[in-house]
Amino acid sequence: MARIRVTRKITIDEDELDEQFIYSSGPGGQHANKAATAVQLRFDAAHSPSLPEDVRQRLIDLAGNRATDEGEIVIRAQDWRSQRRNRRDARKRLVGLIRQAAKTPKRRRKTKPSRTADERRLEQKHRRSEKKRLRKPPQEW
């Protein structure tokens, strides 16, 4: 039972990954039409015992449209002509995604714009409104 090391604290059991080999899309001639070299890698992030809860939630959010409604992440790799390279590429992309989710985002500190920044903004608004006002034809009394 092999494990994939993601970070120092996170490792994933290979049994948690489901790989399916499929035909690649697009042109390719004889080789593409008879060899299922593309890989569809599925990882059930929602039910994985390897992931801490905060990482799991960030991972599903980060995955975007690669995540299903059930919390399963689907990665498709078809850049290479061999199954082995596509498989390695899919796993590498999954590990990269999990590493990105493992980083805790910095908390935003609320800041207030300085008085000069406010004055600068109001001055720009005034200049812009003046420019637009001067474009209008004069009012007839």
pLDDT tens per residue, range 13-38: 778 888 888 888 766 666 666 778 88
| CATH number, residue 13 | 3.30.160.20
Residue 79: inside a domain, yes or no? yes
- Quote the domain boundaries for residue 46: 3-102
How far is the C-alpha of 55 from the C-alpha of 66, rounded, in Å? 16
The Cα-based distances of 6 to 53, 90, 130 in angstroms read 16, 14, 58
> pLDDT tens digit string along 104-115?
889 999 999 999
Q: How far is CA 54 from CA 11, 50, 62, 105, in A?
A: 15, 12, 12, 11
Of residues 2 and 39, more confidently modeled:
39
Beta bridge partners of 18: 42
- Residue 126 within a domain: no
| Residues sharing a CB contact under 8 Å with residue 102, sequence separation 6 or more, in sequence order | 6, 7, 9, 10, 55, 58
- Please tell me the predicted confidence (pLDDT) of residue 79: 83
CB 13 within 8 A of CB 50: yes
